Amino acid sequence: MPYYLGLDSSTQSLSAMAIDPESGRVVLDESVNFGRDLPHYASPHGFLENANPNIKHSNPLMWVEALDLLLGRVKASGFDLSQVAAISGAGQQHGSVYLGTPLSEAGEFPVSVALRDSVAPLLSRATAPIWMDSSTTAICSEIAGAVGGDAVVTRVTGSRTIERFTGPQIRKFYREEPANYAKTREIHLVSSFMASLLVGTSAPIDTGDGAGMNLLDLATATFSRDLLEATAPGLVDKLPGPVPSTQKLGQLARYFVEKYGFQPGTSVYAFTGDNPSSLIGMGASAPGCAVVSLGTSDTVFAAMREPKTDPQGYGHVFGNPAGGFMSLICFANGSLARERVAKDVGYDWEAFTRAILEETKPGNAGNLMLPFFVPEMTPKLLAPAVKRFGSQAFVEGKDAAALARGVVEAQALSMQYHSRWIGETPTLLLVTGGASRNRGILQVLADVFQAEIRTLKTGNSSALGAALRAAQAGGGYAFADLYARFAAPNPDLKVTPAPGTERAYDDLRARFVAELGALG
Give contact residues for ligand XUL (rule: CB under 6 A): 10-11, 92-94, 131, 164, 212, 273-275, 297, 299, 328, 330
Closest approach of ligand XUL to the CB of residue 294, in Å: 11
- If the CB atoms of residues 94 and 185 are measured against ligand XUL, the closer one turns out to be 94
CA dist 114 to 28, 30, 39, 66, 385, Å? Answer: 24, 20, 17, 11, 43
Closest approach of ligand XUL to the CB of residue 5, in Å: 20
- If the CB atoms of residues 169 and 364 are measured against ligand XUL, the closer one turns out to be 169
- If the CB atoms of residues 267 and 297 are measured against ligand XUL, the closer one turns out to be 297
Closest approach of ligand XUL to the CB of residue 310, in Å: 13
Cα–Cα distance measured from residue 456 to residue 291, given in angstroms and rounded to the nearest whole number: 11
Closest approach of ligand XUL to the CB of residue 284, in Å: 15
- If the CB atoms of residues 212 and 497 are measured against ligand XUL, the closer one turns out to be 212
Cα–Cα distance measured from residue 216 to residue 210, given in angstroms and rounded to the nearest whole number: 6
E-state strands within 231-294: 248-251, 267-269, 272-273, 290-294
- If the CB atoms of residues 95 and 363 are measured against ligand XUL, the closer one turns out to be 95
Closest approach of ligand XUL to the CB of residue 93, in Å: 3
- If the CB atoms of residues 87 and 292 are measured against ligand XUL, the closer one turns out to be 292
Q: Is 350 exposed, middle or buried (0-12, 13-18, 19+ CB in 10 A)?
A: exposed
- If the CB atoms of residues 317 and 342 are measured against ligand XUL, the closer one turns out to be 317
- If the CB atoms of residues 275 and 367 are measured against ligand XUL, the closer one turns out to be 275
Phi, psi angles (nearest 5°) of residue 456:
-100, 165
* H or E element in which residue 427 lies: none
Closest approach of ligand XUL to the CB of residue 209, in Å: 9
- If the CB atoms of residues 129 and 440 are measured against ligand XUL, the closer one turns out to be 129
Residue 455 makes CB contacts below 8 A (sequence gap 6+) with 430, 431, 432, 436, 437, 442, 489, 490, 493
Cα–Cα distance measured from residue 392 to residue 370, given in angstroms and rounded to the nearest whole number: 16
Cα–Cα distance measured from residue 70 to residue 15, given in angstroms and rounded to the nearest whole number: 8
| Nearest Cα to Cα of residue 433 among 298, 246, 314 | 298
Closest approach of ligand XUL to the CB of residue 94, in Å: 5
Closest approach of ligand XUL to the CB of residue 112, in Å: 34
CA dist 106 to 122, 139, 251, 253, Å? Answer: 8, 32, 16, 12
- If the CB atoms of residues 416 and 443 are measured against ligand XUL, the closer one turns out to be 416
Closest approach of ligand XUL to the CB of residue 255, in Å: 27
* H or E element in which residue 219 lies: none
Cα–Cα distance measured from residue 420 to residue 390, given in angstroms and rounded to the nearest whole number: 26
- If the CB atoms of residues 26 and 213 are measured against ligand XUL, the closer one turns out to be 213
| CA–CA–CA angle 216, 218, 220 (5° rounding) | 95
Residue-wise burial string across 139-154, b where 16 or more C-beta atoms lie within 10 A, e elsewhere: bbebbbebbeebebbb
Cα–Cα distance measured from residue 144 to residue 142, given in angstroms and rounded to the nearest whole number: 6
Phi, psi angles (nearest 5°) of residue 416:
-65, -45
DSSP-derived letter for residue 381 is: B
Closest approach of ligand XUL to the CB of residue 316, in Å: 6
Closest approach of ligand XUL to the CB of residue 8, in Å: 10
User: What three-state secondary structure class fits 61?
Assistant: helix
